[in-house]
Amino acid sequence: MQTENQSQVIICVAPSGGRRSYKDHPNIPLTPTELSETAVESLDAGASVFHLHVRDHNLRHVLDVSAYKTAIQAIYLRVGKNLVIQVTTESCGLYQPEQQIKMVKELRPEAVTLSLMELIPDTAYEVQAGNFFSWLSAERIFTQFIVFNSNEVKYLAELVQRGIVPSHDPCVLYVLGRYSQNQLSIPSDLDEFLEASFLKKAWFVCAFGKDEARCIDYALSQGGHARIGFENNLFLPNGKVAKSNAELVRIAAIDAVKRNRVLADSNQARNLFSRHL
């Protein structure tokens, strides 16, 4: 799959997620200070977007406006606007759609990721979700929809056709693998998404497990963008545990150059996102 923007690639770092802890990796960034340091390192390694999860005082996943503001301010103090900060609405089994929506409306972040099936667990939620998606578009909040299989891609296409998702070509993240199933990913897992996809420009891939780099490289070869980091994988391609998120970002950046892709900076990432509001 080729795109008119194939020469340019956005690398998003996902440094922690909502489930991992220091038991998983001693250098996983969970506090605002740790997240800000990772932001500096990831920017230097080639990232232009920072996917942000926050924790409470017990280091548990939260969708909390105050915690987000504290972390965002810490990151801005270190890198300014040189990274797009993208917050998550991931429920981790703790939050209902109404709570996810409420958090975003109070926070008004620059960018946000939305799990399609978390916000629309059944068709009764479509009107509420559609109103939220329209609000995001009107507020010019860069929005990325998360899908986990080809059926969700087809459902997203249906929502676009029906006007529930206001963008005709929304920004999407294809997730290869799962937490719940302890499922690893391989590059060919991407094929079902591409075969079902109606998207032309702004699709990203993240991949669980030790073959993350191979999956990302395959996505890069097909014109996609990359999300990489400790949220989904802790290992280098040689099987060793990565020392930092920046090590994983740097691998994706090197692979992008080998694929004749040009690393986008934060302003170029904002320009791409703005086309898909």
Q: What is the structure's pLDDT at 183?
A: 67
Residue 44, in any domain of the structure: yes
Q: Residue 180: what pLDDT? A: 56
Q: What is the pLDDT of residue 13?
A: 98
- 273/276 Cα distance (integer angstroms): 5
Contact 237, 214 (CB under 8 A): yes
Query: In the prediction, which pLDDT does 181 show?
Result: 54
In a domain, 155, yes or no: yes
Residue 3 lies in a domain: no
Report if residue 2 sits inside a domain. no
Asked if residue 41 is part of any domain, the answer here is yes
Report the CATH number at residue 151: 3.20.20.70
Residues 101 and 144: their CA atoms lie apart, in Å, by 14
C-alpha separations of 221 from 13, 21, 206, 238 in Å: 19, 33, 14, 21
- The tally of domains found in the chain comes to 1
Strand partners, 12: 49, 227
pLDDT at 184: 82
Q: What is the dihedral of CA 254, 213, 9, 31, to 10 degrees?
A: -100
Domain of residue 167: give its range: 8-274
Q: Which residues of 95-118 are buried (b: 16+ CB within 10 A; e: fewer)?
A: bebeebbebbeebebbbbbbbbbb
Domain annotation covers residue 33 = yes
Q: Which residues contact 10 (CB under 8 A, 6 or more apart)?
A: 48, 49, 204, 225, 226, 264, 268, 269, 272
**Would you state the pLDDT for residue 1?**
42
Residue 185 within a domain: yes
264 occurs within a structural domain: yes
pLDDT, averaged in runs of 10, over the chain (277 residues): 63 96 97 98 98 96 98 98 98 96 98 97 97 97 96 95 92 84 83 85 91 96 96 96 98 96 96 77
Would the pTM of this model clear 0.85, i.e. be above it? yes
